[in-house]
Chains A and B, each alone.
Chain A
Amino acid sequence: MPPFQPRITPSDATPLSEFQRGVKDCIPLLLGVIPLALVLGATAAQKDFSLLEVPLLTGLNFAGGSEFAVLEAWTDPPHLLTLIFITFLINSRYILLGASLVPYLRHLPNRKIFPALFFMVDESWALSLTDAQRRLAQFGYRYAFSLPYYAGLCIVLYLAWVGFTTLGALLGPVLGDINRFGFDMAFPAIMLVLLKGMWKGFTEARPWLISFICAALAYSYLPGNWYVLIGALAGIASAFWLIQEDEA
């Protein structure tokens, strides 16, 4: 019963083969990304975004959740502070994602890290980190994170996102509600497979349970997207308590 298994790195791996491994691992994810991109593009067209402004937004920002939120809060003329605030809150999870990559990236030069982080989204981060955790035993922290593998993931996601959001703006009115085909379920499916890949046993997963409970409470009783931040922070706070020195 394989969970998400990144293809094992062969000993004769080259940057090109690692890049191709990333591209291959990323392709199934497009089932979730493409419909979402089409919907976002269509929504943007409704808000009078032009065919140039849509790829400008999705190509420079490249973070779907915040783009949906920005369109939701869009006014003409735009309230800049509101947009910045919403964007920051929704994407604040990237602060945590970035922090989790530190042990794997810190030995790399800044000229590689800062462009690489521009492309970090939930999917590319999750796949590359799962891959790095798997390679850790074999390669150690210095070589566990495969930058060409990450690049392969990112280029597929980036082209698909920018391309299909633009297409969505073009096709917008024709699409209708595509969720009746179940496309919205691709996202939790991807996330659950990734979680399975990170599973190390119940003891290690206790903070996840705390996250789930707190996210559920926040989702039920608070407006907006607070549940992501509250659930994540509660789980992390509990980890400080649950993961003690002697277990480490």
Chain B
Amino acid sequence: MIQMSTFIAILLVALTTYCTRILGYVLLKNKTLSKRQRKILEVIPGCVLISMITPYFLRDDPADLIAIMSTLFAASRFGMLPTILISMASAAILRTLLV
């Protein structure tokens, strides 16, 4: 079953999301970018990524903090899958041990 009010809300939310997805592209599409502007654009992704994960470095639980530091270490050494596994395993183990 789909309720009418829920349906409308979902449509509006989805439309809003799609607007954010195309807005950056549409705004910059016809601009000619200098080399400096391209360098600045190249740095943006990292700024967003690091902002998204900042809270993981500020948790109160020591288990979580040790887990994120081991994740940082793993990420500097290994590829995607080993890092994810090390990260999840260290969090699961530390949370069990340090209650």
Interface size class of A (residues with CB under 8 A): 35 or more
Interface contact A70-B45, CB-CB below 8 Å: no
CB < 8 Å A-B pair total: 287
How far is it, in angstroms, between the C-alpha of A209 and the C-alpha of B96 when the chains are bound?
A: 32
The yes or no answer to B53 lying at the interface (CB within 8 A) is yes
**Given A102-B28, A102-B33, A96:B51 Cβ within 8 A:** no
How far is it, in angstroms, between the C-alpha of A125 and the C-alpha of B26 when the chains are bound?
A: 17
How far is it, in angstroms, between the C-alpha of A70 and the C-alpha of B11 when the chains are bound?
A: 12
Interface of B is mostly: helix
Q: Of residues B6, B26, B58, which shows the largest number of chain A Cβ atoms within 10 Å of its Cβ? A: B6
Contacts of A100 in B (CB 8 A): 24, 41-42, 44-45
Interface contact B23-A216, CB-CB below 8 Å: no
How far is it, in angstroms, between the C-alpha of A96 and the C-alpha of B27 when the chains are bound?
A: 11
CB-nearest residue of chain A to B64: A185
Contacts of A105 in B (CB 8 A): 25
Contacts A/B (CB < 8 Å), 25 sampled: A31-B88, A49-B6, A52-B1, A62-B14, A80-B8, A83-B12, A84-B12, A96-B44, A98-B21, A98-B24, A99-B25, A100-B42, A101-B24, A102-B33, A122-B52, A129-B45, A180-B92, A185-B56, A189-B86, A191-B49, A227-B55, A229-B51, A235-B47, A235-B50, A239-B40
